[in-house]
Amino acid sequence: EAQVTQNPRYLITVTGKKLTVTCSQNMNHEYMSWYRQDPGLGLRQIYYSMNVEVTDKGDVPEGYKVSRKEKRNFPLILESPSPNQTSLYFCASSSRGPSSYGYTFGSGTRLTVV
């Protein structure tokens, strides 16, 4: 089944403790992206990657890192999480670019930072 898999689905952590949210897609998509979803703000792009070793900032990159060492994986790293990073996170992928093809989304990771 074609899908984007995120792990974990739920995570509670403490301020400052580094964490990684994994994202993997099995569709051989070139384009991958991370979004955060907050009430009243919709989805905002954190980082995106157009291909292996190519990443760029989205609209809200502060406090996050990403890497794209393999085509299928695009982990999101929070080096020192803070409470304002409590949010619902989505990974998404697209075959050549979301403008024409749209996104396939993962099921989300609900992160709480206390």
Partner 1 sequence: AQSVTQLGSHVSVSEGALVLLRCNYSSSVPPYLFWYVQYPNQGLQLLLKYTTGATLVKGINGFEAEFKKSETSFHLTKPSAHMSDAAEYFCAVSNSNTGNQFYFGTGTSLTVIP
Minimum separation from the CB atom of position 85 to partner 1 (A)? 19
Neighbours of 35 (CB within 10 A): 24
Note whether 8 binds partner 1 by CB under 8 A: no
When binding is defined by CB under 8 A, the residue of 52, 55, 86, 108 that contacts partner 1 is 108
- Residue pair 57/38 in contact (Cβ under 8 Å)? The answer is no
Note whether 103 binds partner 1 by CB under 8 A: yes
Q: What is the footprint of partner 1 within residues 12-51 (CB under 8 A)?
A: 33, 35, 40-45, 48, 50
Minimum separation from the CB atom of position 73 to partner 1 (A)? 17
Burial state string for 77-100 with b = 16 or more CB within 10 A and e = fewer than 16: ebeebeeebbbebbbbbbeeebee
Note whether 1 binds partner 1 by CB under 8 A: no
Q: What is the footprint of partner 1 within residues 67-96 (CB under 8 A)?
A: 90, 92
| Phi, psi of 68, rounded to the nearest 5 degrees | -140, 80
Note whether 52 binds partner 1 by CB under 8 A: no
Longest dimension (CA), the chain: 39
- Segment (H or E) for 13: strand 10-13
Which residue ranges make up the site for partner 1 (CB under 8 A)? Answer: 4, 33, 35, 40-45, 48, 50, 56, 90, 92, 97-100, 102-108
